[in-house]
Amino acid sequence: MWTMNMAVLHLPVYTVLLVGYVQAGVADGDVTPRLTFSYNAKERTAKRFSASGVVNFTTLHLSNEDKTLYVGAREILFALNLTDISEVTLHRNFTWETPDRKREECSFKGKDLQKDCFNYIKIFLRVNNTHLYVCGTYAFSPTCAYIKTDNFSLVKSDSGEVVTEDGRSRCPFNPEYKSTAIIADGELYAGTVSNFQGNEPIIYKSLSQGTSLKTENSLNWLQDPAFVGSAYIQESLPKGNEVGDDDKIYFFFSEVGKEFDFFDNTLVSRIARVCKGDLGGERVLQKKWTTFLKAQLLCSLPDDGFPFNIIQDMFVLTPSPEDWKNTVFYGVFTSQWYKGASGSSAVCSFTMDQVVEAFNGRYREVNRETQQWYTYNHPVPEPRPGMCITNEARKQDIPSSLRMPDKVLNFVKDHFLMDSVIRSSPLLLKRNAHYTQIAVHRVQTGSKVYHVLFVGTDDGRLHKAININGKMHIIEEMVLFRNSQPVLNIELDTEKGQLYISSFSELVEVPIANCTNYQSCGECVLSRDPYCAWDGSQCVDIRQTPPNKAWQQSIVEADTATNL
Amino acid sequence: MWTMNMAVLHLPVYTVLLVGYVQAGVADGDVTPRLTFSYNAKERTAKRFSASGVVNFTTLHLSNEDKTLYVGAREILFALNLTDISEVTLHRNFTWETPDRKREECSFKGKDLQKDCFNYIKIFLRVNNTHLYVCGTYAFSPTCAYIKTDNFSLVKSDSGEVVTEDGRSRCPFNPEYKSTAIIADGELYAGTVSNFQGNEPIIYKSLSQGTSLKTENSLNWLQDPAFVGSAYIQESLPKGNEVGDDDKIYFFFSEVGKEFDFFDNTLVSRIARVCKGDLGGERVLQKKWTTFLKAQLLCSLPDDGFPFNIIQDMFVLTPSPEDWKNTVFYGVFTSQWYKGASGSSAVCSFTMDQVVEAFNGRYREVNRETQQWYTYNHPVPEPRPGMCITNEARKQDIPSSLRMPDKVLNFVKDHFLMDSVIRSSPLLLKRNAHYTQIAVHRVQTGSKVYHVLFVGTDDGRLHKAININGKMHIIEEMVLFRNSQPVLNIELDTEKGQLYISSFSELVEVPIANCTNYQSCGECVLSRDPYCAWDGSQCVDIRQTPPNKAWQQSIVEADTATNL
């Protein structure tokens, strides 16, 4: 009976599908969202959070264990209950204000009292089961502290004063500076600037009792970077494997590409990495990274090679820690050259295989006199410079970076840039949109796996998109905020199927799908929303549907998935 | 004795060479000319020609047979004696003015009387041993005529009136429009616009008694093109070869790249070609090209793929007509996106092999509904659409395009764009220069062959450059004209070793080298000028040196050529 229904359905469904396709195509190659929801659209209700006088929701940290969304704003921190972030009675919060003395100092140094001289929360991360770590710009005087999760308050000394730490090299001075931080295995890794002037970029490891590590500034390992993210990849897994590699921390940023000496100030996007077990060198590179390497990420049009050279955000999609080799890096990019009306953006993806290949490939070398960069074609010392300690190195009696031969460390000092460029063509190109943030959800429906992209714009819209046979389809567009303002953060809660999205003055919780919105079978199937399927009488969310329940959906044209 | 001298010379020569290299490198990757000559520099004397009230030296035609440089300017034509173009007593000229009636019509149609409504000479070519063909814009009413070379005057009827032809489809209406024309085997091939409004581009063949051929306008074979050149390549040679291919005419232009549907109005550079023997179709494509095909030329940076997408000029270097397979296409390109202070330019080269491969490769196809372009992956009718008549076709009883099957012609109507992009990385990149014209000279010195580039800028400078081990070296820069104005044409006289270069108000004759300028052995060798060598006592022009005479030069570092 059901089979017959399907047959009857086929014709109208594909007829309408074709129309939808042509409409998108006619718009001059640009991808047009199939549905657009205004701020007040009932069909796509969002839960909202804002508080009088509170601005700059710059930092989000989602904790499923605590059922809490931790939010850092200007001079205030929130713990919102995931049951309902808009429910005020479930909130906890406290202010962390900059003392007047600090603010005056900041102003005295020439900074804007009403803009720069506040405490903007830039780092808000979990350290262990009982504590969070928080850093703020603290009126151009970065400061960090611990928060106890049980009572959501700053850790204080016996005398009742907040125990603070110097935040330099962890948190930027300037609230506008693009920085990143991540905690891996109890250690903080930050990409930021380490001085008041903002001209000393750094990738810094610190926190535990061990030695802190830095990038070597005098060697220009970083060139005016703007950090957009970082990721912890457990490449030591699975335990006991033959290679015996170390876990790694990756950093994503744009910076001045000194290897492009033709155009002044050509920006390039980078992926950089360090090894978790790096302890610095014994004589050479003392207290400095011995494993810092970087490579170019290039997102460019396949035909004319036009580069979207500025990375705006990176989402690292790892199926599971053990399956790190299948990691996909999803980046949103804009171009330094093409501005257009309101710009244009591209989403590019890179695989772990590509990344590994680049870091295992040739190095570049600079001619110190001419400042030109060349491919380094000569023999390389052993163990391979910049690599983590592996079983191979242990066999050579090198159990840590402290025992790495000087010639290897001297080599890596000057050979931190890989020769290979990690390339991708855009998966998604969007005109008249400046993408700022991205989150990607790996969804399995039936036997198929889809990567659903959630992309935020600088005017407060969200695009939900999916790749169908190499072409992107924007399932829906939502206006997120009352006023047009940039999407600052997207946190994806895969367990609850919610997105938490922040901007300057507002925070919204949006379900990743609202299938009941599609009221007919045609609507439901045409949406190409992989979360939704028609069960014979209504459009259901397949994640909430019993596995033995029959449904159908049609993500790919002429390819109807069914669960009969 | 000479050998000893050389050994003594080595050290200082290389020391200075290295210094020169570093200087160029320090200038941030930009190529700095080794020597720069001002307008009045005695060392690099030029012969000059200008005439009171004469402007727009837009057309040059060099005729070694006549020992004459034919020059078309606004409303006047010159025949300059190559013995000395500045010698007024050797000139011949006549005016070809627009009648007042025509000028009034032009003004009446809304054109500028003082700018548009004159007769600008746009075509000035040799037809046969006794005649030249000339076309002018004739106050937005293009008109052509013949010139007898013996007395250098327009051919007149018995009644004494100039015999004119309608110049439409040969010569543009608007003097600013970028067009091209070439005479091959007595036929005129022109790339221009065919209407007053300037929105009907055309590639047109005409002149002899045979049928004229056009591009098919309704099918958008051309998209707002700006033609920069054309070339006649005798691919039928050598006579009696197995393939039995036809000669071809190539066109070079930039146009709107409709296949790039993401950015509005993305410009692309093209090479297009037609076969000399094309006669159009019998039923399909009647009086239209049956062999019109085009492909993209892409000059882009190797690292970030940044495209120099606008071709400004093309020089086709063919060693000899029989050796057409070794043709190299040298183009100068600028970018639509990067403007910088005064722009930047690139010289790219493409080989005939690359061109042949693209035209033998896949086609592109447009989806008429979505206007998107795709690779055409299906079977192609026989004989291969757009190819010339070859022995293979003749065997199939297809001796001309008139007998080509309808299915082949219907296919070529829609499949005129090749899928492959013909790519090149810049040979020469120059910041703060907008290149407008190029000529290339193939020079043999000893056993080595060099391609010397002569490139003109939009502010009246000439760069003489040579590729040394993959790096360009600008041997010298000359300021050509009294006032800063664009180089409009460069004609290279390989026999006499002279360049004829025109601009709006001036014409100069420059010897391709002035070796006596280099007064010491060091200077002579360091110049890396392939025309010059040190003969033991002075810097000589090796083209004027007896073959058994000893000399030395050093074009490539650490590679001293000698003729002992």
Selecting from B21, B262, B305 the residue whose C-beta is nearest the C-beta of A307 gives B305
What is the reported pLDDT for A561? 53
Are B263 and A340 an interchain contact pair (Cβ–Cβ within 8 Å)? yes
pLDDT digit string (tens) for B5-41?
A: 333 333 233 222 322 222 222 233 578 888 888 888 8
What is the reported pLDDT for A556? 60
- Tell me the shortest Cα–Cα distance from B213 to chain A, in angstroms: 32
Confirm or reject contact between A421 and chain B (CB < 8 A): yes
What is the reported pLDDT for B401? 96
- Tell me the shortest Cα–Cα distance from B263 to chain A, in angstroms: 8
Query: Which of B256, B261, B265, B306 to probe by mutation at the A interface, max A CB count within 10 Å?
Result: B306
Within 13 Å, how many C-alpha atoms sit on residue A130's CB side? 1
Confirm or reject contact between A341 and chain B (CB < 8 A): no
* Tokens describing residue B107: 């003004």
Confirm or reject contact between A550 and chain B (CB < 8 A): no
What is the reported pLDDT for B551? 75
Q: How far apart are CA B149 and CA B152, in angstroms?
A: 5
Contacts of B25 in chain A (CB under 8 A): 367, 369-372
* For residue B154, pLDDT beyond 80: yes
Are A429 and B262 an interchain contact pair (Cβ–Cβ within 8 Å)? yes
* Tokens 């950093």 found at: A251
pLDDT band at B331 (very low <50, low <70, confident <90, very high): very high
* For residue B383, pLDDT beyond 50: yes
Contacts of A305 in chain B (CB under 8 A): 298, 300, 305-307
Q: How far apart are CA A541 and CA A204, in angstroms?
A: 44
> Does B484 or B44 have the greater pLDDT score?
B484
| Least confident among A502-506, B96-100, B381-385, B538-542 | B538-542
What is the reported pLDDT for A210? 67
Contacts of B260 in chain A (CB under 8 A): 301, 303-304
Confirm or reject contact between B341 and chain A (CB < 8 A): no
Contacts of B419 in chain A (CB under 8 A): none
Q: Establish whether this prediction's ipTM goes over 0.90.
A: no
Confirm or reject contact between B422 and chain A (CB < 8 A): no
Beginning with the edge strand found earlier in the chain, give each strand of the sheet holding A35-37 in spatial order: A35-37, A471-479, A461-468, A448-457, A435-445
What is the reported pLDDT for B556? 60
What is the reported pLDDT for A560? 54
Confirm or reject contact between A372 and chain B (CB < 8 A): yes
Selecting from B304, B307, B429 the residue whose C-beta is nearest the C-beta of A298 gives B304
Q: How far apart are CA B457 and CA B539, in angstroms?
A: 29
What is the reported pLDDT for B133? 96
- Tell me the shortest Cα–Cα distance from B22 to chain A, in angstroms: 6
Chain B residue at shortest CA distance from A308: B304
What is the reported pLDDT for B563? 52
Selecting from A30, A264, A306 the residue whose C-beta is nearest the C-beta of B307 gives A306
Selecting from A30, A309, A338 the residue whose C-beta is nearest the C-beta of B304 gives A309
| Least confident among A282-296, B199-213, B289-303 | B199-213
Query: Which of B269, B304, B345, B472 to probe by mutation at the A interface, max A CB count within 10 Å?
Result: B304
Confirm or reject contact between A26 and chain B (CB < 8 A): yes
Confirm or reject contact between A368 and chain B (CB < 8 A): no
Chain B residue at shortest CA distance from A299: B304
Contacts of B337 in chain A (CB under 8 A): 306, 337-338
Are A261 and B28 an interchain contact pair (Cβ–Cβ within 8 Å)? yes
* For residue B1, pLDDT beyond 50: no
Can you spell out the DSSP letters for A259-316?
Answer: T--SSTT-EEEEEEEEETT---BSSTTBTB-SS-EEEEEEEE-TTT--EE-EEEEEEE
The β-bridge relationship of strands A364-367 and A344-351 is: unpaired
Confirm or reject contact between B114 and chain A (CB < 8 A): no
Confirm or reject contact between B370 and chain A (CB < 8 A): yes
What is the reported pLDDT for B88? 84
Confirm or reject contact between A254 and chain B (CB < 8 A): no
Rounded to a whole number of angstroms, the distance between the first and last alpha carbons of chain A is 11
pLDDT band at B224 (very low <50, low <70, confident <90, very high): very high
Chain A residue at shortest CA distance from B257: A304
Are B372 and A304 an interchain contact pair (Cβ–Cβ within 8 Å)? no
Which residues, listed in sequence order, are joined to residue B507 by a DSSP beta bridge? B49, B502
Are B262 and A431 an interchain contact pair (Cβ–Cβ within 8 Å)? yes
Classify residue B30 as left (phi > 0), alpha (psi -120 to 50) or beta. beta
- Tell me the shortest Cα–Cα distance from B523 to chain A, in angstroms: 23
What is the reported pLDDT for A65? 87
Are B304 and A301 an interchain contact pair (Cβ–Cβ within 8 Å)? no
CB pairs under 8 A between A and B: 101
- Tell me the shortest Cα–Cα distance from A263 to chain B, in angstroms: 8
Which residues, listed in sequence order, are joined to residue A206 by a DSSP beta bridge? A188
Confirm or reject contact between A114 and chain B (CB < 8 A): no
Confirm or reject contact between B110 and chain A (CB < 8 A): no
- Give A564: exposed, middle or buried? Use CB within 10 Å, 0-12, 13-18, 19+: exposed
pLDDT band at B561 (very low <50, low <70, confident <90, very high): low
Chain B residue at shortest CA distance from A344: B263
* Tokens describing residue B87: 């010698």
Question: Which domains are assigned to chain B?
Answer: 215-334+342-429 (2.130.10.10)
Chain B residue at shortest CA distance from A30: B262
Are B304 and A266 an interchain contact pair (Cβ–Cβ within 8 Å)? yes
Q: How far apart are CA B525 and CA B11, in angstroms?
A: 13
Selecting from A305, A421, A429 the residue whose C-beta is nearest the C-beta of B307 gives A305
Pick from A181, A137, A186, A135: nearest CA to A162: A135
Q: What are phi and psi of B18, to 5 degrees?
A: -60, -40
Are A28 and B261 an interchain contact pair (Cβ–Cβ within 8 Å)? yes
Q: How far apart are CA A158 and CA B464, in angstroms?
A: 79
**At B326, is the secondary structure helix, strand, or coil?**
helix
What is the reported pLDDT for A558? 43
**Mean pLDDT calculated for residue range B188-210:** 90
Q: How far apart are CA B564 and CA B561, in angstroms?
A: 10
What is the reported pLDDT for A546? 76
Chain A residue at shortest CA distance from B309: A304
Chain B residue at shortest CA distance from A261: B29
Q: Could you list the pLDDT tens digit for every one of the 564 residues in chain A?
A: 233 333 333 323 322 232 222 222 223 357 888 888 888 888 777 899 999 889 999 899 999 888 999 999 999 999 999 988 888 888 899 999 999 999 999 999 999 999 999 999 999 999 999 999 999 999 999 999 999 999 999 999 999 999 999 999 999 999 999 999 999 999 999 999 999 999 999 999 986 666 799 998 888 999 999 999 999 999 999 999 999 999 999 999 999 998 887 777 899 999 999 999 999 999 999 999 999 999 999 999 988 889 999 999 999 999 999 999 999 999 999 998 876 656 799 999 999 999 999 999 999 999 888 888 999 999 999 999 999 999 999 999 999 999 999 999 999 999 999 999 999 999 999 988 999 999 999 998 777 889 999 999 999 999 999 988 778 899 999 999 999 999 999 999 999 999 999 999 999 999 999 998 888 888 888 888 999 988 888 898 988 877 777 777 777 654 555 554
pLDDT digit string (tens) for B508-523?
A: 999 999 998 888 888 8
A363 and A419 Cβ atoms separated by less than 8 Å: yes
Confirm or reject contact between B307 and chain A (CB < 8 A): yes
Are A372 and B25 an interchain contact pair (Cβ–Cβ within 8 Å)? yes
Chain A residue at shortest CA distance from B21: A370
Chain B residue at shortest CA distance from A346: B262
Selecting from B21, B26, B370 the residue whose C-beta is nearest the C-beta of A25 gives B370
pLDDT digit string (tens) for B67-116?
A: 999 999 999 999 999 988 988 888 999 999 999 999 999 999 999 999 99
Q: What are phi and psi of B105, to 5 degrees?
A: -55, -45
Are B260 and A372 an interchain contact pair (Cβ–Cβ within 8 Å)? no
Confirm or reject contact between B266 and chain A (CB < 8 A): yes
Chain B residue at shortest CA distance from A343: B263
What is the reported pLDDT for A106? 95
Are A26 and B371 an interchain contact pair (Cβ–Cβ within 8 Å)? yes
Q: Name every residue whose Cβ is closer than 8 Å to that of residue B378 and which is 6 or more positions away in sequence.
A: none
Q: How far apart are CA B142 and CA B138, in angstroms?
A: 5
* Tokens 């190095």 found at: A363
Give me the amino acid identity at B371. Q
Model's pTM, two decimal places? 0.84
Are B307 and A309 an interchain contact pair (Cβ–Cβ within 8 Å)? no
